[in-house]
Amino acid sequence: MKRIVWYLLIAMTTSCWGSFFTPQIHAQIQNDKQALSDMELIERVASLQRDLQSPEIPKRAAAEKELIELGVRVLDYLEATTEKTPSDAVERTNRVRAALEKIAVAAVTQASRVSLKGKMSIAQVLKKIQIQTGNDAGLPDETPDLFKDRQIEVEFENVKFWKAIDEVMQKGGLTIDTYGGEQGRLVLTPTQAARIAAANPEVDSPKDNQPDQAVPRNISGIFNFAVTQVTASRNLTNPALNYCNLQVLIRWEPRVTPISIALPASTIKAVDEFGNPIEISNQDAVLSGTVQPEIPELEFSIPIGLLDRQIEQIKSFDAQIDAVLPGRIETFKFKKLGDLESGARQSKAGATVTFEGIEKNEDLFGVTVSLSFDEEHNALESHQSWVYNNTVQLKNNKGKTFNALAYEGVRQTNNEVVIRYYFDQDPTNLGLHYTTPAAVVKVPVKISLKKIPLP
């Protein structure tokens, strides 16, 4: 019997990930932008799923092939199999899902690209970047028109998203508002100097505080790394407490919110300007941070040994983070909960959602749901509270939705999490929609930073 688990981590080496990014896969991703409307695609997928149960083997094979050719949008409309689904149709559906999920994972983990040339307003540049990359990066709604309409000239030829955004911020006098956004949206706001210049056009424009030298940066995949601060301390009474810390800021493309990020100290290799290796404090440590969905960054403080004063810079700093990413988001739909028995379940992309019944609690109705996965890789850790951010809604036959008012954890083990959601609507005649990361992937991402100045 398969062991039920919390999430599936597909651990892959760098060479394995390279195999995803073939011209064929890029072409397949582009197929999603072709002619079929959502309604046409819904109807076609439903028809092909019926063909998967045809008594004619060639017809079943043709349906499986076409579902894959239609691209990753099929995953949004592919109905979950049930206990009544014929075994051959289950196998074919699973093969379709596996093929399309592989493409979806490649799209999630690979850096977005921008090609754009000309003189246009900042608002237009950001909108075009959003259309090309799927990354919602824009100005706050309340931004005055004089900033939105400010003209800048850009020339991007298949450059990475973060390189394009960094240049737009530099030319447009913008900075990232760390606490002004929400999940999936990167908010750019005018710098203080840009605001002062706009309010006093006759006065010489003040300059934003510029660093003495270029900030060490590295773009790798969907991530943007930068050293923001280097601090050193010498303890005169206890030299064992001497230290030097590197503050490394990690940002990611807004279309993807990581589940967790960890940096094993054992992966760090640093060399000073004379080519000598730099000692890393506590090689066994694993640095980690809690990803908050509405905050688009994490900052790690990396301790190294205090260096001799004659050393003015770290020549190179190489490391690897392990990023757990939601490779595929799935919605599980249960019809008319009053007709379901406790234990009714659906499986997609390796995830299983189980309806565990309804119970009345004074004026509220509790709907209990469990989430598990097919294969075990890592145990459920208490700090991985992302499951509580999953969207859970009741929906009537007219499409009106009802959100949960509250929730409580029922039980949590190394293999499973069970949560009870409370609604003020009687769910007996309503459906349940549960949205969660399903195809979760663990991606190794290289960091390579050069010429880090020391204090």
Per-residue pLDDT at 251: 96
Domains parsed from the chain with CATH numbers: 22-109 (no CATH), 113-199 (3.55.50.30), 218-326+442-453 (2.60.40), 328-441 (2.60.40)
| CA 106-224-391 angle, 5° bins | 60
Q: How buried is 48 (Cβ within 10 angstroms: 0-12 exposed, 13-18 middle, 19+ buried)? A: buried
Tokens of 34: 């072709």
37-71 tens-digit pLDDT: 888 999 999 999 999 999 999 999 999 999 999 99
Q: 272: pLDDT confidence band, cut at 50, 70 and 90?
A: very high
Q: CB 345: neighbour CB atoms within 10 A?
A: 17
Q: What angle do CA 380, 386, 389 make, to 5 degrees?
A: 140
- Distance of alpha carbon 265 from alpha carbon 287, whole angstroms: 7
C-alpha neighbours within 13 Å on the C-beta side of residue 354: 11
Query: For residue 304, what are the contacts with CB-CB under 8 A and spacing of at least 6?
Result: 243, 244, 245, 246, 270, 278, 279, 280, 281
Q: Where is 97: in which H helix or E strand?
A: helix 87-109
Q: How confident is the model at residue 8 (pLDDT cuts 50, 70, 90)?
A: very low
Q: Dihedral sign, CA of 411, 417, 423, 427? A: negative
Across the beta sheet with 364-373, what order do the strands follow? 345-348, 351-361, 364-373, 417-423, 406-412
Q: Between the ranges 181-185, 249-253, 307-311, where is the mean pLDDT highest?
A: 249-253
Task: Calculate mean pLDDT across residues 92-115.
Answer: 87
Give the rounded percent of residues in the chain with a pLDDT score beyond 70: 87
Residue-wise pLDDT for 219-264, tens only, equals 999 999 999 999 999 889 998 888 889 999 999 999 998 888 999 9
End-to-end CA distance of the chain: 58
Separation between Cα atoms, residue 321 and residue 385, nearest integer Å: 20
Rounded (10°) CA dihedral 62, 67, 71, 75 = -160
**C-alpha dihedral sign at 401, 406, 410, 411:** positive
What residue type is 272 in one-letter code?
Answer: D
Integer CA distances (angstroms), 232 to 149, 188, 241, 307, 308, in order: 44, 32, 11, 9, 11
Looking at 15-19, 180-184, 297-301, 328-332, which range is the least confident one?
Answer: 15-19
Q: For 354-369, what is each residue's pLDDT tens digit?
A: 999 999 988 999 999 9
Q: Is the pLDDT of residue 105 over 50?
A: yes
pTM, entire model: 0.76
Handedness of CA 390, 392, 397, 401 (dihedral sign): negative
**pLDDT attached to residue 429:** 95
pLDDT computed for residue 23 by the predictor: 37
pLDDT band at 308 (very low <50, low <70, confident <90, very high): confident
The residue whose two tokens read 């800048």 is 152
For residue 43, give the 3-state DSSP assignment: helix
Q: Is the CB of residue 182 less than 8 Å from the CB of residue 199?
A: no
- Nearest residue to 391 via CA among 399, 400, 379, 403: 403
pLDDT band at 414 (very low <50, low <70, confident <90, very high): low
Say what the pLDDT of residue 190 is: 92
Averaged confidence pLDDT in the chain = 84
Pick from 81, 131, 78, 75: which is nearest to 105 by CA? 75
